[in-house]
Amino acid sequence: MDLDEKDPGHRHLFHIPPAEGGGYPEVAYFAGNSLGLQPKATRTELNEDLGEWARLGVEGHLDAGRPWLPYHELLTAPAARLVGALPSEVVVMNSLTVNLHLLMVSFYRPAGKRTKIVIEDAAFPSDSYAVRSQARFHGLDPDETVVRLKPREGEDTLRVDDVVSQLTDEVALVLLGGVNYLTGELMDIPRITEAGRAVGAVVGWDLAHAAGNVPLQLHEWGADFAAWCSYKYLNSGPGALAGVFVHERHHGNPELHRFEGWWSTEPSTRFEMTATSRPPRSADAWQVSNPPIFAMGPVRTSLRIFDEVGMAALRERSLRLTTYLRGFLDQVTATRPLSVITPREPERHGCQLSVRLHEGNAGALTKRLRFEHGVIADARQPDVVRFAPVPLYSTYEDCRRAADALAKTVEENR
């Protein structure tokens, strides 16, 4: 039996872009680690919310089919299930980097010799910008404050022992990517969290490439905080609202500084219009502004898909797809100037496999893959091409097409 008939995934729930090359009706889409595809239900459900605005005007806050005033609460429980948290520990709001800054207001509190922030050297640039600006905000030199972890000479990914060895009593904050955006490496979140907290550091995680990609148990693992976006594996649209996790041990702590606004106070007291907020004992206390309803709708639609399918089933299919794709890539890279830099061990990667070009330009190569072969992958200059077979909608045939197109394109370049 054909693998795609035996293990079809949930492709029928998504719009697949048409191909412009390669003789195929649809693209082989491997860029869900950059922007996920649109669920077919998104347009219908977003139009329902828009219709309530047209029908009700301001009264939609209370009388819409999905009332706007408590709308964000519709996302809380499914988001918590997705990341392995208690509902009180999660809120969907803002964008990823805004949320990281709001969280660092609370959790990066340098004092005495404990000032260091530990990140990966290959962190996504916005994380680097964010932590450097936080160091400057506290009057510190970012070049001395930010510790950038590099792989060993000749290696592409970090070893967990090397990460742990850098966690000393000078570290105030550990902020790492759960899955590295460039290499696809899945970090040992529970071990690093435990090690960081053991030396007195606060441990936070950027889960932009982990949420919806790998199973997470944030409450059990004891992370202090985490943040993620919803436009990659969570398929909620470009610039979609992001998520926040704050462990329950921090709820209601009066010593934690937070920025506050209209949505930071208890809902039952919001319209008393007092000058002082009364923050709830939950992650909702980190909210500032009232939520944008029409941006929340696509997140709600997507989270329902994850609830229905389940992360355990998605992870199993993800490993089947990446194993299949890696088998082809092993053949392609054996005789060509290419190497797969993503760790081979299943427990050390998500659904992204990154290929390094030893010759040539990654951007130029991905353009040829797209327009000559109908394969959409993602280039990270100068020399990395990222292939992400997303278990919700990618196929085994997509994997074969991608490897075949890569081999042909590299050969033609040579």
Q: What digits encode the pLDDT tens for the residues 339-397? A: 999 999 999 999 999 999 998 799 999 999 999 999 999 999 999 999 999 999 999 99
Residue 282 banded pLDDT, cuts 50, 70, 90 = very high
51 within a domain of the structure (yes/no): no
For the purposes of burial, counting CB atoms within 10 Å of the CB of 342, is it exposed (0-12), middle (13-18) or buried (19 or more)?
Answer: buried
Span 207-232, mean pLDDT?
98
Number of domains within the chain: 2
295 within a domain of the structure (yes/no): no
Instruction: Provide the CATH number for the domain around residue 232.
Output: 3.40.640.10
DSSP 270: G
pLDDT at 197: 98
Span 103-117, mean pLDDT?
98
Same domain, yes or no: 261 and 169: yes
pLDDT at 330: 98
Provide the whole-model pTM.
0.97
Q: What are 52's two structure tokens?
A: 């309530």
Q: What does the CA dihedral 255, 261, 263, 268 come to, rounded to 10 degrees?
A: 70
**Domain extent for 26:** 3-40+310-413
- With a pLDDT cut of 70, the percent of the chain lying above it is 100
Please state, in angstroms and rounded to a whole number, the distance separating the CA atoms of residues 69 and 137: 34
In 117-267, which ranges are continuous DSSP H helix?
125-137, 142-145, 160-165, 189-198, 218-221
296 within a domain of the structure (yes/no): no
pLDDT at 347: 97
409 within a domain of the structure (yes/no): yes
Same domain, yes or no: 90 and 175: yes
202 within a domain of the structure (yes/no): yes
Same domain, yes or no: 272 and 160: yes
Residue 293 has pLDDT above 90, yes or no: yes
Same domain, yes or no: 223 and 173: yes
Domain final residue, candidates 256, 290, 324: 290
Residue 21 has pLDDT above 80, yes or no: no
